[in-house]
Amino acid sequence: MSLRVRQNPAGESATCEQLLAAGAAVLNQLLERVWDSRMRRTADRPLPSGRVTPNTALAAGAALSVAGMGWLLIAVNPLTALLGAVTLVTYLFCYTPLKRRTVLNTVVGAIPGALPPLMGWTAATQSLSAPGWSLFGILFFWQLPHFMAIAWLYRDDYAGAGYRMLSGVDPDGRRTAASAVRNTFALLLVSWFPYLFGLAGRWYLAGALLMGIGFLAASVVFARTRTPRTARLLFFASILYLPLLLVLLVVDKPSRKLTSPPGPSLASPAAAGAPASTL
């Protein structure tokens, strides 16, 4: 069965997602303004510092979110708009309150953080097919070691503000480091899927393997010593890994038409490679 592909879904979807992400970020900071005021790294944000009032933030966040959702529905397609709604709801009403209730909040928060690439895929193909889910998987597993590094560096700040992070209940850091290693290894495996699904070629596969091994090595170094220096190494490895992988994914396109088992014609992955929103 052929999948009808829009001619230029990337620009429309990316713009809508940026509006939606901006709205979610504003509303998240509104909900967390009291707790943000207790942390050094967030105390100078506009709401805790008093530079922006809660009413202004509510109006701006709601307007941006509604504009993004409406544009997705009208200019892209209902499936992508539905994923946008799931992103907004899980981010604001699942992840945000869970940060003060359970250490599993990071896993929950990785879901809305990984949905934007899948939204790019559904914008291009109007389908929740396996290649799109592989993009979701890459962003999902990437976020976990990335945030484990941040959580370890700022564990005292998080604990003082009342956030329940794994690093806050893990005095020696073994569980935090084990999570980083486990999820970096899972990322290494999932990063093969775009090649297996025909989204990218052998240069992408080689780069994904090399960068994945390097990222995994950084997480292993962190697991062995668990110092601020090794946590920063893991953090910087994470912020280098993702953009380089996405560049490879966009640049190393197969020369043939992309297919997804059992063989429908699909769009270029460029539209699906948009960066995820941060948590």
pLDDT in tens, 208-241: 999 999 999 999 999 999 999 999 999 999 999 9
Distance of CA 34 to the CA centre of its chain: 25
Distance of alpha carbon 187 from alpha carbon 138, whole angstroms: 6
**Residue 217 to residue 227: CA distance in whole angstroms:** 15
Q: Which of 85, 84, 123, 83 is nearest to 3 (CA)?
A: 123
Taking the C-alpha atoms of residue 162 and residue 38, their distance in angstroms, rounded to an integer, is 9
Q: What is the Cα–Cα distance from 120 to 10, expressed in whole angstroms?
A: 7
| The pLDDT of residue 151 | 95
Every domain of the chain and the residues it spans: 9-273
pLDDT of residue 255: 61
Round to whole Å and give the CA distance between 265 and 279.
Answer: 33
Let me know: does 106 contact 260? Beta carbons within 8 Å: no
pLDDT digits (tens, 9 = 90+) for 15-48: 788 889 899 999 999 999 999 998 988 999 999 9
Which pLDDT value is given to residue 7?
A: 52
Smallest CA-to-CA distance from 263 within 202, 197, 193, 192 is with: 197
Helices 105-125 & 130-153 angle (0-180, nearest 10): 150
- Give dist(CA 7, CA 270) in Å, integer: 12
pLDDT value for 253: 82
What stretches in the chain show pLDDT beneath 50? 1-6, 257-279
Beta bridge partners of 265: 259
With beta carbons less than 8 A apart as the criterion, state whether 87 and 20 touch.
yes
Encoded tokens for 245: 């992988």
pTM equals: 0.84
Maximum distance among all Cα pairs of the chain, rounded to whole angstroms: 56
